[in-house]
Amino acid sequence: MIDRNHELPLAKQAKAVGISRSSVYYRPRPVSDADLRLMRRIDELHLEYPFAGSRMLRDMLNREEIKVGRKRVSTLMKRMGIEALYRRPNTSKRHRKHPVYPYLLRGLKINRANQVWAMDITYIPMAKGFVYLCAVVDWASRKVLAHRVSITMDRSFCIDALEEALRRYEKPEIFNTDQGSQFTSTAFTDVLRDHGIRISMDGKGSWRDNVFVERLWRSIKYEEVYLKAYASVSEAKASLKTYIDFYNATPLTPGWTR
């Protein structure tokens, strides 16, 4: 997909094929088959029990006769970019250099397209590795407005997805994310401010406002990812796009929340 000997600069090649610029320069570290199997199971358990932290996940895995310690589970969770969702006030520590914006959705009735967009990142297992998927979702319609697949959690693939959504659709009034470093970075928030979009952020580990995006991740994983074993990043990218196109084409019916 990327030709490092081509006369076209790598950044332009990445833009042409729709992948994160940082992914072009990244050299993946090898991951053992045992770790990949463990990460896949942690991901499955996290979907079923999003409140489970490393200690609870360790206990669940041990009951399945998967012998692993809490420290190892915690390390893999960080690599996967997942954390427990707690029903508690926002006690997150702010990034020393990145401002954190207030939460704007409390008590807000969201009932029309382009009123509120949300964005999140999830871990996607493959046959011999893993990638990350980010998506911009319209809160009212549940439609995926743009997405990107990357082999790193660098902010650039999130910015690429955001910019695509803004090119294709009328800008939202409010854009909501968690406090991940990708979303608190100046490069990301500058795009929102330049378009006059109000920025809203959940507390770290907050359960309340991830609910619609979490439902999207469940649909993608149970109806697509867990049924397949992608052999390459390009295959994962193509297959995920096909599924998301299908997801967007499936209308919401009364009482159905996906």
Query: With bands split at pLDDT 50, 70 and 90, how would you rate the model's confidence at 7?
Result: low
pLDDT score for 99 = 82
Pairing of strands 129-138, 116-126: antiparallel
Q: pTM of the entire structure?
A: 0.75
Residue 251 or 118, more confident: 118
253 pLDDT more than 90: no
24 pLDDT more than 60: no
Q: Is 44 buried (19+), middle (13-18) or exposed (0-12) by CB count in 10 A?
A: middle
Residue positions counted in the chain: 258
Q: What is the 3-state secondary structure (H, E, C) of 62-103?
A: HHCCCCCCHHHHHHHHHHHCCCCCECCCCCCCCCCCCCCCCC
137 phi, psi to nearest 5 deg:
-125, 135
pLDDT tens per residue, range 28-87? 556 788 999 999 999 999 888 887 889 999 999 999 999 999 999 999 998 888 887 654
Residue 188 or 80, more confident: 188
Token pair of 250, please? 């499936």
Token pair of 29, please? 């570290």
Q: How many whole angstroms separate alpha carbon 165 and alpha carbon 116?
A: 13
Q: Mean pLDDT score of the chain, rounded to an integer?
A: 83
pLDDT tens per residue, range 116-145? 999 999 999 998 899 999 999 999 999 999
Query: With bands split at pLDDT 50, 70 and 90, how would you rate the model's confidence at 6?
Result: low
Query: Domain ranges in the chain?
Result: 30-84, 116-249
Q: 116-249 has which CATH code? A: 3.30.420.10
